[in-house]
């Protein structure tokens, strides 16, 4: 975070001089107000600095273990049976691609069962059923299961399919993933260690270059997928199943209480329950399964809202059990940091309130610069930059240098998403129930692909969009006011907030506008 060297009037003083008694031994009300704002400022950014310091800890663990690549204890003399589960919901554009990839697995056909778990309510159900029947005729052991009630959503579909699972191990793939043919063989031998309950592959990004939004999403996700997951796995800390592109030991799911749908992130919930029962998880950073990133802002928002809200729900459900367990204290502390990380969005919301007093009420003193602004810049801003640059440099064809120009946009997007994700945190804390909103998949990799396909999903109307628009206007006014006062050093920081809310809100508005325009031309389907 930039040092806020603010050009305030000489009568506005922060620190010892501002709190010195006046001749009548009373403090002015204005001084108390400024002191209160400074206290809030320090507390909020101290909290953000804690989350930033945790990123530095992740970086340290990644570098510590970067060469400790997991190896199987042995190899199966005879390959075990695997059930591949494919949870679907209205996946017209990607269903055929997924089934073709799964049936191309280089794995003994007599050891492979495929379950198509379809909750679709549109014409994609007919497509999935027809493709399943065709593959059954080709000799595949494939089971098509269609539900109409959507009870428990994805977790409910996985749970209801468990009685007919034939495999000793269960591989799960979401509809937008395209697993390579050798994937199962590259992962299965890790289960020769009978304590291993899950082996997780890393997500790739097949449409990373589709737009600025998908580029930024890839950078965001790689911080988690390349650094966090690798560091946690190799240090022996709690690791989360990413919901797809992983293989479970069936018994680990059963022993841990099965799939439960009282949270929106059933994968994170089951991960902690399984590890609390003693199962080990292995993360394979170098085994990559390509997947599709949401190419539009509303798809990204719905995905982030679900992940954020679900993680807080799991935190409320699991964290006490973690602390009551026999796991070492360092694992408990890391689990706490992991499960509470999204509370940072509430602190980001607080910064929205603090922007005006930080720029127009507080004075820039050397004490504030040395003891507040510089530590915050290092822990809350520089740590973020190092984190994401390292995640890109750690990939075979990655480059921190090519990523550098995207960092301002990355920081702005994170700020712009604070309303969407902050609302998710508050809803989870207040036990506000909401449905599992799927992330639309379009099966597009390039803009040329998108032009051939009309978007068929209307963006939902939301009060949050109007708040984002209002905040864009608000920060635009603050930028003008700061420039008029000559507070040039605060402009880059205010500019990040302005750009973030403009970008996020305009993405939703343009999606809605394009949908309305296309709706006048051709009939469309609303998901």
Q: Could you list the active site residues?
A: 119, 267
Sign of CA dihedral 188, 193, 194, 195: negative
Tokens 């001089």 -> residue: 17
Q: In what order do the strands lie in the sheet with 141-146?
A: 141-146, 112-118, 82-88, 169-172, 246-249, 196-205, 280-291
Instruction: Indicate the burial class of 248 (C-beta count within 10 angstroms; 0-12, 13-18, 19 or more).
Output: buried
Q: How far apart are CA 344 and CA 209, in angstroms?
A: 29
Q: DSSP state, 111?
A: G
Residues whose CB is less than 8 angstroms from the CB of residue 81 and which lie 6 or more positions away in sequence, other chains included: 111, 112, 113, 166, 167, 168, 169
Cα 19 from Cα 30, distance rounded (Å):
11
Compute φ and ψ for 357, nearest 5 degrees.
-65, -30
What one-character-per-residue DSSP string does 213-269 give? HHHHHHHHHHIIIIIIHHHHHHHT------SSSEEEEHHHHHHTT----SSS-HHHH
> Cβ contacts of residue 250 below 8 Å, gap of 6+?
83, 165, 167, 168, 169, 170
Identify the CA nearest to 227 among candidates 48, 73, 50, 398.
398
Our CA angle for 176, 181, 184, nearest 5°, is 90
| Phi/psi of residue 330, nearest 5 degrees | -70, -30
Helix (H), strand (E), coil (C) string for 445-482: CCHHHHHHCCCCCCCCCCHHHHHHHHHHHHHHHHHHHH
* Alpha-carbon distance values, 392 to 231, 353, 366 (Å): 15, 33, 36
Place of tokens 């704002």: 37
Task: Enumerate the H helices of 103-141 as residue ranges.
Answer: 124-137
> Measured in whole angstroms, how far is the alpha carbon of residue 144 from the centre of its chain?
30
């Amino acid at each position: 975070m930039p040092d806020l060297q603010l050009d305030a009037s000489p009568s506005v003083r922060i620190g010892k001089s501002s709190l010195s008694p006046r001749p009548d031994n009373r403090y002015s009300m204005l001084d108390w107000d400024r002191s209160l704002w400074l206290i809030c400022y320090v507390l909020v950014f101290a909290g953000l600095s804690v989350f930033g310091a945790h990123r530095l800890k992740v970086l340290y663990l990644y570098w510590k273990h970067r060469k400790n690549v997991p190896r199987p204890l042995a190899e199966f003399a005879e390959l075990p049976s695997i059930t591949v589960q494919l949870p679907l919901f209205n996946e017209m554009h990607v269903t055929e691609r997924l089934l073709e990839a799964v049936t191309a697995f280089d794995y003994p056909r007599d050891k492979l069962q495929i379950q198509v778990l379809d909750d679709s309510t549109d014409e994609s159900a007919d497509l999935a059923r027809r493709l399943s029947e065709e593959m059954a005729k080709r000799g595949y052991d494939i089971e098509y299961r269609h539900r109409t009630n959507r009870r428990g959503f994805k977790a409910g579909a996985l749970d209801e399919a468990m009685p007919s699972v034939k495999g000793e191990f269960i591989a799960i793939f979401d509809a937008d993933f395209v697993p390579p043919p050798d994937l199962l063989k590259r992962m299965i031998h890790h289960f020769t260690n009978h304590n291993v309950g899950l082996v997780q592959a890393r997500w790739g990004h097949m449409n990373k270059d589709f737009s600025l939004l998908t580029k930024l999403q890839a950078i965001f996700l790689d911080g988690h997928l390349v650094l966090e997951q690798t560091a946690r796995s190799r240090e022996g800390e709690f690791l989360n199943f990413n919901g797809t592109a992983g293989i479970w030991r069936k018994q680990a799911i059963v022993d841990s209480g099965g799939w439960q749908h009282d949270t929106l992130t059933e994968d994170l919930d089951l991960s902690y329950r399984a590890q609390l029962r003693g199962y080990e998880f292995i993360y394979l950073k170098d085994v990559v399964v390509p997947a599709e990133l949401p190419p539009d802002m509303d798809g990204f928002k719905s995905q982030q809202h679900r992940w954020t809200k679900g993680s807080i729900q799991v935190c409320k459900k699991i964290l006490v059990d973690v602390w009551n367990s026999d796991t070492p204290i360092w694992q408990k502390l890391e689990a706490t940091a992991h499960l509470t990380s999204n509370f940072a969005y509430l602190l980001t919301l607080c910064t929205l309130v603090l922007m005006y007093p930080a720029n127009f009420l507080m004075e820039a003193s050397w004490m504030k610069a040395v003891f507040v602004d510089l530590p915050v810049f290092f822990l809350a801003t520089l740590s973020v930059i190092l984190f994401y640059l390292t995640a890109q440099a750690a990939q075979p064809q990655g480059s921190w240098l090519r990523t550098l120009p995207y960092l301002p946009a990355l920081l702005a997007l994170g700020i712009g998403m604070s309303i969407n994700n902050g609302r998710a945190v508050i809803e989870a804390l207040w036990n506000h129930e909401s449905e599992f909103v799927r992330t639309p998949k379009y099966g597009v990799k390039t803009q040329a692909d998108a032009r051939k396909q009309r978007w068929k999903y209307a963006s939902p109307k939301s009060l949050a969009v109007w708040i984002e628009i209002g905040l864009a206007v608000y920060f635009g006014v603050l930028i003008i006011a700061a420039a008029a006062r000559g507070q040039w050093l605060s402009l880059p920081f205010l500019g990040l907030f302005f750009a973030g809310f403009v970008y996020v809100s305009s993405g939703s508005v343009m999606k809605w506008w394009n949908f309305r325009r296309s709706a006048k031309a051709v009939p469309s389907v609303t998901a």
